[in-house]
């Protein structure tokens, strides 16, 4: 085990990381997080094995030998994961989105975590999520319920759609299936799937909080929530009631589990005492006090939506469409989806028509953008765009996430505008959808009314997203190399003068002709030369090196280094870079121990990656893992869009160098900035032996 594990630590390949990824739908986030963690571990020099809990089941299951050998475990999941097999291991547990957006940091946090102890890890209490992450714990419990509910929703909805499209007969009241028809039976099976939807949601929310003792009470109380006759209501409390019963059951069961009992009673607690008492307490509370008020809220909301027309329904379509497109499968998206799904069962399929149209817009729109403006995107992004087109057809909003993660400031606003347009047009046209799903695929099954306008809504939203995203990306590309920055002296070696400067929107390995401007003009007839692989030396020069600083405060050192970066022309907004570095320190310290700190800032205040170095004889308190002051401080600033490539590569190179005692000694003894550069050169670009 390394003594100073951080997000920059490079360990020998013998260090093994185990990772688990899971998302509520088990389609996109699960595998994206797995890929990101695998890539980050490989970049940092670790061996990693990833177990995915996806829609097709668990893949890549760890053997006991893997678990015994593992140095740390990363769990990036929005569903309930049984962690009992990892007792005694260093572990970090967080949301699946963190696995996508900061995989290297998760690996570092796992290696830095204290061992859990040899007792089995429990997953039945909020403490397992950490007191600092109670919001994350509640979110994961809710998403656990959603993940188990979705198969019931999809199966039930598709069976209803198939039965209506094949066996339905047109009447003034809509499609009706004759009761003596085979398709009526299929329709009833689909209705059963819908009926089980809320009890499953409630049961698995409770299961995520209290483990198995909460499952049966959660489902029973969830059924009570949907059955208004229990509390003298004409309508049930719907999915809102199911969420309430799920959390009530979970926390009541958890509280009962913590009551100390005699050892003879303990074996029957989880199978008899806890389920019975919890069911009586929560079921009774819901019947006597909570059921009618929640049912009134739900029925009032349904009545209000059913009565909407004219401008009001347009507003509803705008809001639902924007919510669906905003976080592409996240909690805001799921809220709008559950809202539309629940109203289908209440006899109002209109909102689901708005949601269904908007669901396809982000992946189809961004996929189209990569086709119409290929030069704005890297090869990897163009491949992601093709995949997004395919996923968009099947209503998988998560298909746009890879493109949104690379350019959030350009892609997310475009998605929201396109989704809002699609939702509004579907609302105006009165499109309805009898299936809790979206995209063109539901029209194929005949679940959508007003199919022509449904496609008009989708295509209009896709066009808005594609055009707005291309416009915003084009603006960001043109702003990357302003005249004053282009006139600044290049950083690094003289060879940099003839190499185009990569735009933040492009990957480090691919420079778009639109996204770059040459510092010096090359002869017109010259053949283009592929840029050499970047190293640390391409981002630092004597202007960004200061020896024996007087500052003793961490924040003052960060501001000093950001000021040095500004002199190169690669940082235009010092305050933004400083703030980004401070925000990173709030997540976890960048003091990696042994007198080293590597603060880093991902901010569009930087136009391209830049590195600065400061040496402190007295040391700076950096809250390092070993509590030692930092004497050698390297600060990195990268644009937001370049962070996923340049950022990790620079950190990896620095880490490899800083793990060498000889390199640390050489920069500690450096008399001038040129000596620091020479030490870096010998470390990252070893000299070749002289010919004899």
pTM of the model: 0.48
Question: What pLDDT score was predicted for residue 659?
Answer: 63
692 is annotated as an active-site residue: no
Question: What pLDDT score was predicted for residue 29?
Answer: 72
| Among candidate residues 121, 130, 94, the one with its CA nearest the CA of residue 22 | 94
Question: Helix, strand, or coil here: 614?
Answer: strand
Strands 610-620 and 630-638: antiparallel
What whole-number distance in Å separates Cα of residue 327 and Cα of residue 96?
A: 13
DSSP codes joined into one string, 207-253: HHHH-GGGHHHHHHHHHHHH-GGGGT-SS--HHHHHHHHHHHHHHHH
Please compute Rg for the chain using Cα positions: 28
Question: What pLDDT score was predicted for residue 541?
Answer: 87
E strand spans, 141-220? 169-171, 174-176
Q: What is the mean pLDDT of each run of 10 residues along the chain (692 residues)?
A: 46 75 70 84 89 79 90 88 85 86 89 68 41 65 77 74 72 67 88 85 90 92 87 72 91 91 84 92 90 75 58 83 80 73 76 90 92 78 79 76 73 93 92 83 80 94 94 72 40 38 35 35 43 72 90 89 89 89 78 81 86 91 79 88 57 66 80 87 54 40
Number of DSSP helices (H) and strands (E) in the chain, helices first:
25, 15
What whole-number distance in Å separates Cα of residue 149 and Cα of residue 141?
A: 13
Exposed (0-12), middle (13-18) or buried (19+): which is 609, by Cβ within 10 Å? Answer: buried
Exposed (0-12), middle (13-18) or buried (19+): which is 224, by Cβ within 10 Å? Answer: buried
Both tokens of residue 121?
């890890």
Both tokens of residue 168?
């339905």
Contacts by residues 402-406 (CB-CB < 8 Å, ≥ 24 positions apart): 402/32, 403/366, 403/369, 403/370, 403/377, 404/328, 404/362, 404/366, 405/100, 405/101, 405/644, 406/381, 406/505, 406/641, 406/644
- Residue 418: phi and psi, rounded to 5, are -65, -40
The helix or strand, by DSSP H or E, that contains position 27, with its residue range, turns out to be none
CA quadruple 352, 356, 359, 361: dihedral, nearest 10? -130
What whole-number distance in Å separates Cα of residue 80 and Cα of residue 73?
A: 16
Domains of the chain, start order: 14-114 (3.40.50.2300), 132-304 (no CATH), 309-476 (no CATH), 536-682 (3.40.930.10)
Determine contact, residues 388/364, Cβ cutoff 8 Å.
yes
Determine contact, residues 414/472, Cβ cutoff 8 Å.
yes
CB burial string 409-431: b at 16+ within 10 A, e below: ebbbbbbbbbbbbbbbbbbbbeb
Please tell me what DSSP assigns to residue 617.
Answer: E
DSSP codes joined into one string, 586-621: HHS--EEETTEE--EEE-TTBSS-EEEEEEEEEEE-
221 is annotated as an active-site residue: no
Both tokens of residue 60?
């890549």
What whole-number distance in Å separates Cα of residue 341 and Cα of residue 333?
A: 12
Give the number of residues written for the chain. 692
Q: Please identify which of the residues 29, 53, 600, 647 carries the catalytic annotation.
A: 600
The helix or strand, by DSSP H or E, that contains position 591, with its residue range, turns out to be strand 591-593
What whole-number distance in Å separates Cα of residue 4 and Cα of residue 627?
A: 11
Q: Please identify which of the residues 23, 29, 437, 647 carries the catalytic annotation.
A: 23
Q: How far apart are the first and last CA of the chain?
A: 42
What whole-number distance in Å separates Cα of residue 186 and Cα of residue 108?
A: 52
Distance of CA 457 to CAs 272, 356, 538, 600, Å?
53, 10, 48, 43
Question: What pLDDT score was predicted for residue 357?
Answer: 93
Task: Dump pLDDT digits (tens) for 382-415.
Answer: 777 887 888 788 777 767 866 776 677 888 899 9
Region label for 395, one of left (φ > 0), alpha (ψ between -120 and 50) or beta (otherwise): left
Determine contact, residues 22/54, Cβ cutoff 8 Å.
yes
Determine contact, residues 462/415, Cβ cutoff 8 Å.
no
Directed axis angle between helix 291-307 and helix 238-257, to 10°? 150
Question: What pLDDT score was predicted for residue 369?
Answer: 93
CB burial string 168-191: b at 16+ within 10 A, e below: beeeeeeeebeeeeebeebbeebe
Helices (H), 10-95: 29-44, 64-69
Determine contact, residues 596/654, Cβ cutoff 8 Å.
no
């Amino acid at each position: 085990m390394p003594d100073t594990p951080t997000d920059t630590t490079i360990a020998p390949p013998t260090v093994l990381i185990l990772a688990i990824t899971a998302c509520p739908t088990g389609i996109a986030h699960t595998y994206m997080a797995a890929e990101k963690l695998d890539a980050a571990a490989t970049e940092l020099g670790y061996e990693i094995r990833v177990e995915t809990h996806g829609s097709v089941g668990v893949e890549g299951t760890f053997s006991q030998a893997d678990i015994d050998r593992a140095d740390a475990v990363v769990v990036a999941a929005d569903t309930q994961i049984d962690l009992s097999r990892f007792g005694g291991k260093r572990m970090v547990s967080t949301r699946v989105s963190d696995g996508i957006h900061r995989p290297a940091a998760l690996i570092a946090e796992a290696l830095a975590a204290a061992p859990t102890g040899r007792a089995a890890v429990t997953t039945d209490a909020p403490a397992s999520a950490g007191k600092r992450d109670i919001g994350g714990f509640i979110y994961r419990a809710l998403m656990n319920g959603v993940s188990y509910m979705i198969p019931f929703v999809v199966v039930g909805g598709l069976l209803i759609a198939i039965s209506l499209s094949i066996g339905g007969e047109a009447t003034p009241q809509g499609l009706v299936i004759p009761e003596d028809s085979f398709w009526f039976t299929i329709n009833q099976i689909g209705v059963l799937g819908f009926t089980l939807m809320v009890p499953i949601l409630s049961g698995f929310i409770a299961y995520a909080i209290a483990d198995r003792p909460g499952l049966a009470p959660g489902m029973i109380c969830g059924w009570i929530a949907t059955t208004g006759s229990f509390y003298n209501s004409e309508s049930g409390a719907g999915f809102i009631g199911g969420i309430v019963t799920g959390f009530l059951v979970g926390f009541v069961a958890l509280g009962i589990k913590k009551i100390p009992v005699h050892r003879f009673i303990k074996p029957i607690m989880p199978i008899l005492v806890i389920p019975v008492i919890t069911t009586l307490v929560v079921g009774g509370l819901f019947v006597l006090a909570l059921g009618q008020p929640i049912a009134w809220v739900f029925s009032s909301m349904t009545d209000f939506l059913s009565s909407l027309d004219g401008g009001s329904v347009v507003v509803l379509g705008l809001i639902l469409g924007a919510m669906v497109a905003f976080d592409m499968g996240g909690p805001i998206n799921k809220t709008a989806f559950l809202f539309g799904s629940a109203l289908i069962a209440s006899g109002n399929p209109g909102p689901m028509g708005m949601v269904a149209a908007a669901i396809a817009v982000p992946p189809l729109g961004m996929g189209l953008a990569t086709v119409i403006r290929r030069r704005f995107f890297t090869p990897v992004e163009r491949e992601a765009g093709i995949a997004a087109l395919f996923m968009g057809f099947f209503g998988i909003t998560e298909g746009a996430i890879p493109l949104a993660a690379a350019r959030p400031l350009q892609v997310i606003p475009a998605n929201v505008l396109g989704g809002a347009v699609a939702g509004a047009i579907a609302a105006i046209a009165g499109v309805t959808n009898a299936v809790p799903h979206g995209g063109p695929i539901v029209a194929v099954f005949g679940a959508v009314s007003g199919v022509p306008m449904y496609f008009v809504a989708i295509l209009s939203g896709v066009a808005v997203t594609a055009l707005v995203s291309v416009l915003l990306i084009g603006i960001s590309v043109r702003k990357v190399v302003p005249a004053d920055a282009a006139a600044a002296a290049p950083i690094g070696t003289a060879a940099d003068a003839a190499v185009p400067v990569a735009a933040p929107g492009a990957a480090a390995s691919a420079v778009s002709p639109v996204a770059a401007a040459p510092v010096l003009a090359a002869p017109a007839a010259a053949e283009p030369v592929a840029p050499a692989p970047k190293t640390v030396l391409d981002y630092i020069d004597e202007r960004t090196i200061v020896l024996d600083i007087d500052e003793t405060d961490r924040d003052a050192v960060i501001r000093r280094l950001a000021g040095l970066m500004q002199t190169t022309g690669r940082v235009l907004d010092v305050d933004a870079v400083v703030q980004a570095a401070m925000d990173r320190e709030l997540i976890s310290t960048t003091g990696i121990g042994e007198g080293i700190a590597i603060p880093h800032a991902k901010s569009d205040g930087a136009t391209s990656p830049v590195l600065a170095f400061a040496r402190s004889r007295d040391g700076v308190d950096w809250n390092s893992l070993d509590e030692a002051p930092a004497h050698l401080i390297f600060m990195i600033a990268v644009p937001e869009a370049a962070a996923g490539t340049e950022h990790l590569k620079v950190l990896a190179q620095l880490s490899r160098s800083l793990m060498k005692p000889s390199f640390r000694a050489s920069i500690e003894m450096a008399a001038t900035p040129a000596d620091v550069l020479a030490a870096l050169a010998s470390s990252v670009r070893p000299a070749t032996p002289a010919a004899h």
